[in-house]
Structure 1
Amino acid sequence: MEERVYVFVVGSAGSGKTYFTKAFSDWLDLKKIDVFTVNLDPGADYLPYSADVDVREWFTLEDIMSKYDVGPNGAQIIGADLISTKVNEIIDEIDYNDPTFVIFDTPGQMELFTLRASSEILVSSLGKRNCIMVYLYDPVVSKTPSGFLSLVFMASSAVFKLEIPHVPVLSKADLLPEHDLEKIIEWSTNQEKLYEEISSMKGLSLELFHLLREAGLFQPLIPVSSTKMFGFEDVYDAIQEIFYSGEDIESFY
């Protein structure tokens, strides 16, 4: 059996993870690439796609709040941890359907996934060598140098925690004025331009910049729009480059 690719869509709340999952799965489907979607957010009120596996079929935030007598925040944490008890069922469903691509739509608050043990259990069970993270940069936060730098740091922390490669994506790029879009992309490809912007800042921002640059953690952003449906070819190509050195995944099936 050929190896499949597991894509974890990660990002801060409001960065567009769920709609990215829908749009990317639709794009893959149009390309005749077999895709399987997994919703890992028990607190999702609405999904614009039909998840092939949905943790809400096992537990919801309301269920958890009632059973454990906790508030919404406590329920989110318990829900994140409960995912670890369903890893075998998730993998069984994936194996039964045998897709090429599996896209995981992670909880709204990224720390509920990246900082909880369930994420490591799931990634390890799937096999880290087959997993990749697509990290979504919020376009509004990305517009300021300090905001952009913070997102690079957050993406890097998720990479360190999960120990899998990642593809950085500028989400909702269609909402940005052209000059802002070009500026953000340039920051991701030319760190000297970013340094010029933050050089007047004191202390931590400069130290963080040097730390991230010396560690080689800046990567070119891929602008994507889930509503205008652009950028997904580039995301797909980036994933191919990581796993197959550019050879088209379709050729393996």
Structure 2
Amino acid sequence: MVFGQVVIGPPGSGKTTYCNGMSQFLKLIGRKVAVINLDPANDALPYECAVNIEDLVKLSDVMVEKSLGPNGGLVYCMDYLEKNIDWLESRLKPLIADHYLLFDFPGQVELFFLHSNAKKVIMKLIKSLDLRLTAVHLVDAHLCSDSGKYVSALLLSLTTMLHLELPHINVLSKIDLIESYGKLAYNLEFYTDVQDLSYLQYHLDQDPRSAKYRKLTKELCEVIEDYGLVNFTTLDIQAC
């Protein structure tokens, strides 16, 4: 049985930094670790890469050859990876005997709740290689400083959890920088425990940009609370 993490989250949330820090931590405690880069747009890797999707398909080549933008190109690359999953499986088989696996996925959020290719890749690997994977979903902690953005982050986290159907951990990354974005309306535990979201309504009502979305925001908060699935742990990867 092989264990590992599927590292996901919006662009800029710190996925690659997390994979680099986690791999160093695991090595320090005596674990063998393999980082698998599945982001074809990630051409500056700070970690030693055991498997790199760019050996199979490159986003820059896809954009030129298929006349696609970055988002469309990433969807194409993930679809291409799914159709050539045997390529990835063959490169993972020598590692699964004694390595802990870290999968560094692209940051385009639509890959994880609008399209099914990324999920199909994960599920095929779980089935064929008998993997036990946990999704680690990173969200930039600065979103807590804006009530509207925080609600959006909650909705994204919930949608991703329901779509992937994996054991799941939501992480507020870059927590060491949170105070630089301004004073939080409530203490940090309010945002990590996802407590009574009705308290956010007052702050949303003060923003003229969100006034016309008041009813929609209220309904979204109620959906999030009804599921009762979302909470966060905090992380400063540089402190690990």
After superposition, the Cα gap between the structure-2 partners of 1:67 and 1:197, relative to the gap in structure 1 and judged at 3 Å, is closer
8 Å Cα contact 2:35/2:102 also seen in 1 = yes
1:234 — aligned with what? none
Give yes or no for the alignment of 1:210 onto 2:222. Answer: yes
Structure 2 CA distance for partners of 1:181 and 1:80, relative to 1, 3 Å: farther
- Alpha-carbon distance between aligned partners in 1 of 2:185 and 2:104, rounded to the nearest angstrom: 25
114 and 90 in structure 1: CA distance in 2 versus 1, 3 angstrom threshold: farther
One-letter amino acid matched to 1:222:
T
CA distance in structure 1 between the aligned counterparts of 2:21 and 2:102, rounded to whole angstroms? 11
Aligned-residue identity in percent = 27
Q: Kindly state the Cα deviation for residue 85 of structure 1 after the two structures are TM-superposed.
A: 2.6
Q: 2:187 matched to 1:183?
A: yes
For residues 72 and 196 of structure 1, what CA distance do their matches in structure 2 show?
Answer: 38
TM-score by length of 1: 0.80
Distance 1:133 1:66 in 2: 32
Equivalent residue number for residue 92 of structure 1: 90
CA distance in 1, matches of 2:70, 2:90: 30
> Shift of the alpha carbon at 1:45?
2.6
Assess if the C-alpha contact under 8 Å between 1:61 and 1:75 holds in 2.
yes
Change (3 A) 1:71 1:206: closer
Specify the code of the residue in structure 1 equivalent to 2:187: K
**Under a length normalisation based on structure 2, what TM-score does the superposition of the two structures give?**
0.84
CA RMSD of superposed structures (Å): 2.3
Could you say which residue in structure 2 is the equivalent of 1:30?
A: 28
Unaligned runs of 5+ in 2: 206-213
Tell me by how many angstroms 1:113 deviates: 4.7
Distance 1:184 1:137, change over 3 A: farther
Residues 176-231 of structure 1: CA deviation (Å, up to 9, x unaligned): 22964973432232512x42222564212221111111111222x221122233xx
Question: Residue 38 of structure 2 aligns to which amino acid in structure 1?
Answer: L
Q: Are the counterparts in 2 of residues 80 and 113 from structure 1 also a CA contact under 8 Å?
A: no
- Answer yes or no: is the 8 Å Cα contact 2:41–2:58 preserved in 1: yes
State the match for 2:234 in structure 1.
Answer: 223
Deviation at 1:136, TM superposition (A): 0.7
Correspondence 1:41-190 to 2 at 5 A:
41-98=39-96, 99-127=98-126, 130-177=132-179, 180=184, 183-189=187-193
CA distance in 2, matches of 1:27, 1:182: 32
